[in-house]
Structure 1
Amino acid sequence: MDIMIDRIEQLEKDTGQIKIDLACLTARSEAFATKTDLAELRTEMHQSLAGIHKEIGGMHKELANQTRWIMGTAVAIAATCMTIVKVFF
């Protein structure tokens, strides 16, 4: 009989600890992300990435335009130098 009482007392202690642990887990679970939160985050990320993609595309166009101007200027300078050399020599 004493063994049963000891076991019941131990179960009561364990039950109390389980209640405390459950309360802590319940409090922590309120901060967890839900499926809706993740879906909203995914949408925001896709929108941000789309904006970044557009900016990179614009930068690519500007870089291509700048490269054309540099190459055109280099060809014009080379042609001018050749003409000057041909005229004077």
Structure 2
Amino acid sequence: MAPAFAWIGGMIVAVLAAIVMTIAIRRVLPMLEAALGLSMFAMGFALHASGFFAGQGPWPVFFIVAVSHTIAGWAIWQRQRRLGQP
């Protein structure tokens, strides 16, 4: 039960970090796709370099980065669409 809560909590933190990183990078790079790509690279590199998932292969890092940035990109896109921003 505890590992499931750890994964859920970790995903929530990862989504929030992805949103914050993408918005921060977007202040420099105006395109959402470029900001998401650079944010994905930075988060994946940081998770891999930290060694947090050492010995488990690349898939946990890939899963966390892909899912969190998918949710973050969707949330940012929905916010833009509702506010009528380009």
TM-score of the aligned structures, taking structure 2 as reference length: 0.32
More helix by share: 1
Question: Which of the pair has the greater relative contact order for Cα pairs under 8 Å at 6+ separation?
Answer: 2
**Structure with greater Cα Rg:** 1
TM-score of the aligned structures, taking structure 1 as reference length: 0.31
